Amino acid sequence: MYRALRRKLSACIRRNDSIILENDDEICESITNPTIKYENEDIPSITVLNDECLLMIFSYLHTNDISRLERVCHRWKDLSYRSWRSVKYLECNNDTWYVNKNTNPQNSYMGKGRDHLVATLKKCGHFIEQFDLQLNSYSAVLLLTAVTQNCDNLLNININTELYPIKLSEIQICDLLKSSKKLKYFSIDGDYTSSPIFISCDKANNGLGTFLRHLSADTLERIHIGDICNEMKPFLIPILREFKCLKSFVCAGKVDYDEHLMRAIMSNKSLEHLCLSFNDCQSPKFIIPFLRNLTNLKNLILSHIFLRNRDLIGISNNCEQLELLDISGCARIKNIGASSIIKQTRLKILNITGLYSVTDEFIGDLSDSLTTLKCIGCKDVRDHGIIMLIRRASNLKYLDLTGCRITNATIQAAIEITTKRENNIKLVIVIRNNPFVDMNEFMELPSLLQIVTK
């Protein structure tokens, strides 16, 4: 019923969009007929709904639509003001706010979207908790200022300059962080070589990243730094050492993991989630020895880095709390290193995609708490180890075996095992483009088993 009422509400807003509102009560009466039919179902008039129901419907609308509700009638105008409290997320991108990346500041179409966003911030800025900035340079300066002035309860901030080169001064980011006293998550990413934000900051200050000084040490729990990590290291290292609430550090890109950075990471005993990915540098001596000391880690992502067998063995021997391990793309790993993963008794998610030299020899002995296994492209992984895992791990939910040498034997075993499952957990097995499996031989699958072949 709510879905139908939302369709009716949207229709009301669209009809009202082209009307000059001279008599609110007359307009309200004209759009609230006693009964309107949608898809052969009778839907009661929206006027029969109480304020709480209308507010629930309003909460699913985009902020653009909430603004337009104010023009329908006096009641909806009052409710729209109350509904701003439900707006927690602000996405500032060109598509959402009618801004084209090639337009100039004088374009009235772009200016309309920009001005509307600024007006929206004045209404709901106090309630917004998450801010995502991906606007072009013409709009970003004004909007960042508006966010700083109106959004004082931000919990998450994401600034991404990869899509559009944003021309901002570091002072603006400093002001934003100063006003965000409750910030828990901060993410910044972009291309240092081409983005004006980083060039201008580097010239104006003694290094990039001085705005990091204004992050709150009492609240910050997660920080995500992209390719610009190298330029920010002088200001990032104190955060890693001193922020005792920090639980997650993500550094994705080509970064020079020198001894100073790794010692800073190692010194933070509160870290539970660590991602050092997409860096195939030939100097793992500064990475692995320090990771062995992070005994409280629960999630470790080391995808596409220079990881050797003895490094993985050292991690498995020391990081005993791991629940997620991603070593995808670490093609140097062989069975001797991968076998050490069986020591992780709490492991729930394992990604060994792209480990072309491993077999299924160790897979059958993985933790019985495992829920997800991805081994895409592991051409030497065969039926025996996979069948043992399905039988052993009763909580297994997702198994991606694309590119593995899996045959009908695995499917038949999965049918027999899931038929007897008593925990009501569904198992999804992905075997795309597998020439060794003929699904025509299986007439019917149990309700707790799904096979994805395309």
Q: What is the pLDDT of residue 254?
A: 73
Q: What is the pLDDT of residue 37?
A: 47
Q: What is the pLDDT of residue 301?
A: 94
Task: Assign 260 a pLDDT band (cuts: 50, 70, 90).
Answer: confident
pLDDT digits (tens, 9 = 90+) for 379-398: 999 999 999 999 999 999 99
Q: What is the pLDDT of residue 392?
A: 95
Q: What is the pLDDT of residue 89?
A: 80
Q: What is the pLDDT of residue 234?
A: 86
Whether 298 has a pLDDT exceeding 90, the answer reads yes
Instruction: Identify the weakest region by mean pLDDT among 18-22, 127-131, 238-242, 417-421.
Output: 18-22
Task: Assign 204 a pLDDT band (cuts: 50, 70, 90).
Answer: very low
* SS3 assignment for the chain: CHHHHHHHHHHHHHHHCCCCCCCHHHHHHHCCCCEEEECCEEEECHHHCCHHHHHHHHCCCCHHHHHHHCCCCHHHHHHHHHHHHHCCEEEEECCCCCCCCCCCCCCHHHHHHHHHHHHHHHHHHHHCCEEEEECCHHHHHHHHHHHHHHCCCCCEEEEECCCCCCCCCHHHHHHHHHHCCCCCEEEEECCCCCCHHHHHHHHHCCCCCHHHHHCCCCCCCEEEECCCHHHHHHHHHHHHHHCCCCCEEEEECCCCCCHHHHHHHHHCCCCCEEEEECECCCCHHHCHHHHCCCCCCCEEECCCECCCHHHHHHHHHHCCCCCEEECCCCCCCCHHHHHHHHHCCCCCEEECCCCCCCECCCHHHCCCCCCEEECCCCCECCHHHHHHHHHHCCCCCEEECCCCCCCHHHHHHHHHHHHCCCCCCCEEEECCCCCCCCHHHCCCCCCCEEEECC
Q: What is the pLDDT of residue 451?
A: 96
Q: What is the pLDDT of residue 333?
A: 95
Whether 40 has a pLDDT exceeding 70, the answer reads no
- 10 Å CB burial of residue 255 (0-12, 13-18, 19+) is buried
Query: Quick one: tokens of 90?
Result: 């602000």
Query: Quick one: tokens of 73?
Result: 């009638």
Whether 442 has a pLDDT exceeding 80, the answer reads yes
Say if residues 253 and 279 touch (Cβ distance below 8 Å).
yes
Q: What is the pLDDT of residue 397?
A: 97
Whether 165 has a pLDDT exceeding 70, the answer reads no
Q: What is the pLDDT of residue 109?
A: 35
Whether 102 has a pLDDT exceeding 60, the answer reads no
Instruction: Identify the weakest region by mean pLDDT among 12-21, 267-276, 371-380, 410-419.
Output: 12-21
Instruction: Identify the weakest region by mean pLDDT among 215-219, 257-261, 307-311, 348-352.
Output: 257-261
Q: What is the pLDDT of residue 417?
A: 97
Whether 85 has a pLDDT exceeding 60, the answer reads yes
**How far apart are alpha carbons 331 and 353 in whole angstroms?**
9
Domain-wise residue ranges, the chain: 1-86, 359-454
Kindly give the pairing relationship between strand 41-44 and strand 35-38. Answer: antiparallel
The average pLDDT across 53-63 equals: 73
Task: Assign 76 a pLDDT band (cuts: 50, 70, 90).
Answer: confident
The average pLDDT across 270-279 equals: 87
The average pLDDT across 357-366 equals: 95
**How far apart are alpha carbons 304 and 331 in whole angstroms?**
8
Handedness of CA 254, 256, 262, 263 (dihedral sign): negative
Whether 269 has a pLDDT exceeding 80, the answer reads yes
The average pLDDT across 351-374 equals: 96
Instruction: Identify the weakest region by mean pLDDT among 16-20, 358-362, 440-444.
Output: 16-20
> What are the phi and psi torsion angles at 442 (to 5°)?
-115, 110
Higher pLDDT, residue 110 or 373: 373
Whether 169 has a pLDDT exceeding 60, the answer reads yes
Task: Assign 135 a pLDDT band (cuts: 50, 70, 90).
Answer: low
**Average per-residue pLDDT for the chain:** 79
Task: Assign 68 a pLDDT band (cuts: 50, 70, 90).
Answer: confident
Q: What is the pLDDT of residue 27?
A: 34
Other residues' Cβ atoms within 10 Å of the Cβ of residue 386: 24
Identify the residue whose tokens are 């093609």: 331
